[in-house]
Structure 1
């Protein structure tokens, strides 16, 4: 299975009821081996960073098998608004 940035974005938007998702293919030749994601979801409210990352990983369990590197940032809508205003 070839994993694309669009596929990851769509999956996270759906599975985590995300308000905003950014996905960047950070592979040197854009070969879909390395990704960086930002996920904004109200489902992260009251969750630790580890719990949030586990939620993302659970959504992408099959996709992560074929990805070499995966960096994620997970924030609530309130945290996202604060970051945007800085």
Structure 2
């Protein structure tokens, strides 16, 4: 079974993250991802970067809900 730690590791292998938090039950996952790679990109493009980082591993994940932020957006969340 895929764990939240697995999903986090998979994403980080393909995408440099300043912060990542993944929660889930083995099939459904929620992720908060902060990356400089998101700068200048819309939400769809940001999510595509995450899916690209996951690659074929996405087949093991039934559902992935994500919130993506640039470092600046993340800093302004507080």
Q: TM-score, normalised by structure 2?
A: 0.90
- Structure showing greater radius of gyration is 1
2:12 maps to: 13
**Structure 1 unmatched runs, 5+:** none
| Kept in 2: contact 1:24–1:35 (CA 8 A) | yes
**Structure 2 unmatched runs, 5+:** none
User: Of 28, 50, 60, which residue of structure 1 is paired with 2:54?
Assistant: 60
1:82 maps to: 76
Q: Deviations over 1:26-61 (max 9, x none)?
A: xxxx3x110000110001000111110000001112
User: Which aligned runs of 4 or more in structure 1 are off by greater than 4 angstroms?
Assistant: none
| CA shift for structure 1 position 63 | 2.1
- Write the distance in 2 (CA, Å) between the matches of 1:12 and 1:60: 6
Alignment RMSD: 1.2
1:48 aligns with 2:42: yes
Q: TM-score, normalised by structure 1?
A: 0.82
Count of paired positions: 78
If each structure's helix is expressed as a fraction of its own residues, which one has the higher value? 2
